[in-house]
Amino acid sequence: MVSAALLKPERMRTIDLFEYIRHLNANQQSAQRYEIEFWKKVFYPLSCLVMVVLALPFAYLHFRSGGIATYVFAGVMAGISFFLLNNVFGYIGNLQNWQPWLTAALPGMIYSLLSLTAFGWLVLKR
């Protein structure tokens, strides 16, 4: 357990985080930071799917007269903002004592909803 205390939670394996969380809870210690990181690792495949869904509105656009650079830049900025929001939610959730699973899943749900709404709007517009 000493080696787990020296490691940052971002560097720990998922199973090690789970065991360390159980150890902290058994000793009535705060495990909020480790629980958030555990749920981030659990929801990581969802984050990959969110990035794919985020690309859908940009993939649906057809360009014949140029202007593609603006849309590529907007797509890259959307991806970076998702990454930043994902990290910010981890810190805010830790400070505000939010549910760890909700803290890890909420950015993915927000961006999925936004990108599916944009994709639906593009499909109905055309």
Domain ranges of the chain: 1-42, 44-126
Percent over 70 (pLDDT), the chain = 91
Cα first-last separation, the chain: 58
Chain mean pLDDT for the chain:
88
Three-class SS of 56-112: HHHHHCCCCCCCHHHHHHHHHHHHHHHHHHHHHHHHHHHHHCCCHHHHHHHHHHHHH
Q: Is the pLDDT of residue 30 over 70?
A: yes
- pTM to 2 decimal places: 0.80
Closest to 59 (Cα-Cα) out of 50, 77, 47, 71? 71
Residue pair 93/37 in contact (Cβ under 8 Å)? The answer is: no
Q: How many residues does the chain have?
A: 126
Q: Identify the pLDDT of residue 61.
A: 72
Overall average pLDDT of the 33-43 stretch: 94
User: Which residue has better confidence, 123 or 103?
Assistant: 103
CA distance 61 to 69: 12
The pLDDT confidence band at residue 122, using thresholds 50, 70 and 90, is confident
- Please give the pLDDT value at position 5: 60
> Residue 70 has what pLDDT?
82
